[in-house]
């Protein structure tokens, strides 16, 4: 039987600067947790509490009360202060509090994971080069719908659809009084020059805009674009940021639990952010020690090696997902999003373990448009924030993002003698010229180049 010392617990709350008007709520959360575990076994002692008890309790409470994010964080903080400072449970210090702390951000309506579920031909605004919210020209609105229909007919990735549609929308807004049928090469040239001269965009940005317009003119207006005389943006292409091996170790040492595993997999396999976030249980092939990446950029599948150092952690993660999924099914949930109409082809697949996300969200959520209750994957921004914070904690002066781990993967493979074609295949690049950027980082386009200052030993 557990008999907490509530006076000591309130002292801990004060030490952690918890306002006194919140003490009663912290105490109630702990009381509910104790009632939950004692209902299963009245002989429970503090040393009997296990990580599984916390997992089950959190899911049960969230299912019953549909907590807000701040209530969820308060619940976790109360349990953490109760188990570690009060009872000094060593396993609780290693418990993956960060995973639950993320509190499962709900996926936005236009998030690439779920956007294909909907047939609405609308354009969602992006954060860069502010997209106009409304077009007053009726022919322009009709043209946008034709554009999106054409992109979806060609099975383009949802991110490509969003990017192309937003650039075309900006282009149409630049020519508000021109009827869609009257748009020609000169209009495109004027807009591209505007981007380079007035907006001073990077060359890569201008290239994306050009690709968007080329698709519009060729596939929608049916008059291929012949752009002549437009000014190329002349800002140089930036080299990717790469971390040295000791910097990788420092970065990962500042991360814990599921986020350390996610970052480690990005570095160990070269996966993109959304590729690692959207892994499913069935994508892990332990027998062949490989990971299957499905529907990656360009709608292609590829294989990457499963790092041996993470095999045990991944198998433990699969066990965690299995336990969580069983509990979800028991509570009347357990569905997961299935892409490309698979839910209609295989009606029961959405509740099968193999289709569950390997890194599921800590809380189930209802889809904002359909109302379907599912457990989605972790929100990608939670990993991005953890990597950024870890870089700060590790005192890394380089600008580190999740994609930095992919850059480091490619560079370190080349440093260890792997040929560029192998690296190209592992990264999923369509053209080897894209992969060649990493030879510039190495400064080894063919032969190693030493500084002339080192050749003459200038300090001697």
The half-sphere exposure of 243 on its side-chain side, counting CA atoms within 13 A, is 25
* Residues in CB range of 386: below 8 A, 6 or more apart: 98, 255, 259, 263
The residue annotated as part of the active site, out of 438, 440, 444, 450, is 438
Closest CA to 131 of 156, 106, 110: 110
Is 297 tagged catalytic?
yes
3-state SS assignment for residue 410: helix
42: its two tokens: 């009245």
**Are the C-beta atoms of 148 and 372 separated by less than 8 Å?**
no
Compute CA 435 distance to the chain's CA centroid, rounded to the nearest angstrom: 22
**Are the C-beta atoms of 55 and 76 separated by less than 8 Å?**
no
Is 429 tagged catalytic?
yes
The residue annotated as part of the active site, out of 77, 80, 272, 280, is 272
The residue annotated as part of the active site, out of 297, 333, 351, 388, is 297
3-state SS assignment for residue 373: strand
How far is 409 from 403, CA to CA, in rounded Å?
10
The residue annotated as part of the active site, out of 325, 386, 406, 407, is 406
Is 438 tagged catalytic?
yes
Give DSSP secondary structure letters for 307-361.
-HHHHHHHHHHHHHHHHHHHHHHHTT------STTHHHHSTTGGGSGGGSBSSB-
Is 93 tagged catalytic?
no
Torsion of CA 105, 399, 243, 99, to 10 degrees: -20
The half-sphere exposure of 114 on its side-chain side, counting CA atoms within 13 A, is 22
Is 302 tagged catalytic?
no
Is 88 tagged catalytic?
no
For the annotated catalytic residues, the residue numbers are 272, 297, 403, 406, 429, 438
């Amino acid at each position: 039987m557990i008999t907490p010392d509530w006076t000591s617990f309130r002292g801990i709350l004060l030490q952690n600067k918890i306002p006194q008007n919140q003490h009663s709520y912290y105490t109630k959360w702990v009381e509910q947790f104790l009632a939950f575990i004692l209902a299963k076994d009245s002989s429970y002692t503090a040393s009997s509490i296990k990580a599984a008890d916390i997992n089950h309790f959190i899911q049960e409470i969230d299912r019953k009360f549909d907590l807000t994010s701040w209530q969820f964080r308060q619940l976790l903080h109360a349990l953490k202060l109760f188990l570690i400072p009060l009872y000094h449970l060593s396993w609780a210090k290693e418990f993956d509090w960060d995973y639950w702390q993320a509190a499962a951000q709900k996926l936005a309506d236009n998030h690439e994971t779920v956007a294909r579920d909907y047939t609405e031909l609308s354009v969602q605004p992006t954060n860069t080069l502010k997209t106009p919210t409304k077009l007053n020209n009726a022919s322009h609105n009709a043209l946008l719908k034709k554009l999106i229909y054409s992109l979806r007919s060609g099975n383009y990735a949802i991110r490509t659809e969003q990017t192309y549609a937003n650039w075309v929308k900006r282009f149409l807004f630049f020519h508000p009084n021109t009827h869609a049928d009257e748009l020609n090469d000169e209009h495109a040239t004027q807009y591209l020059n505007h981007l380079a001269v007035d907006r001073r965009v990077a060359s890569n940005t201008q290239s994306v805009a050009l690709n968007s317009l080329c698709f519009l003119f060729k596939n929608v207006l049916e008059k291929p674009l012949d752009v002549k005389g437009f000014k190329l943006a002349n800002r140089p292409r930036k080299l990717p940021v790469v971390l040295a091996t000791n910097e990788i170790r420092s970065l990962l040492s500042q991360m814990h639990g599921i986020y350390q595993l996610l970052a480690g997999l990005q570095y160990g396999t070269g996966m993109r952010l959304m590729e690692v976030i959207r892994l499913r249980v069935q994508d892990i092939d332990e027998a062949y020690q490989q990971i299957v990446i499905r529907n990656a950029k360009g709608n292609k599948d590829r294989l990457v090696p499963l790092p041996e150092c993470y095999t045990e952690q991944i198998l433990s993660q699969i066990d965690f997902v299995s336990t969580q999924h069983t509990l979800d099914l028991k509570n009347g949930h357990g569905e997961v999003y299935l892409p490309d109409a698979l839910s209609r082809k295989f009606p029961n697949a959405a509740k099968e373990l193999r289709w569950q996300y390997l890194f599921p969200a800590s809380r189930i959520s209802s889809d904002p448009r359909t109302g379907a209750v599912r457990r989605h994957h972790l929100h990608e921004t939670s990993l991005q924030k953890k990597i950024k914070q870890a870089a700060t904690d590790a005192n890394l002066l380089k600008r580190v993002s999740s994609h930095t781990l992919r850059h480091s993967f490619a560079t370190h493979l080349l440093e260890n003698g792997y040929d560029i074609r192998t690296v190209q295949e592992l990264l999923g690049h369509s053209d080897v010229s894209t992969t060649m950027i990493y030879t510039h980082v190495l400064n080894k386009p063919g032969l190693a180049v030493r500084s002339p200052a080192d050749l003459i030993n200038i300090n001697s």
